[in-house]
Amino acid sequence: MMGNELALHEALEIHELLAFKNVCMTKATTIRVLVADEELKGLLSTAAAADRKHVEDLKGLLARGTTTSIIS
């Protein structure tokens, strides 16, 4: 494999990670509203911010890499 091309299995793995990180971000953001403890709220905010960055990074990987097909 050369350059920025992604193999099909790599693109699928990135999609799977992207879906997982979206769920993590949504859960942390949603639960934060229900939590009374300020320290826990801070941890959830930090987790949501990190997940948001991970989502953007994964989207960037997908946008930069063109998927190559094993069937040409």
Task: Parse the chain into domains and list their residue ranges.
Answer: 6-68
Q: Of 63, 62, 49, whose CA–CA distance to 17 is shortest?
A: 62
So what's the pLDDT on residue 37?
97
Q: Are 68 and 7 in contact (CB under 8 A)?
A: yes
Give the predicted TM-score (pTM) of the model.
0.79
Q: How far is it between the farthest Cα atoms of the chain?
A: 56
d(CA 48, CA 43): 9
So what's the pLDDT on residue 6?
85
Tens place of pLDDT for every residue, the chain, 72 residues? 456 688 889 999 999 999 999 999 999 999 999 999 999 999 999 999 999 999 999 999 988 876 655 554
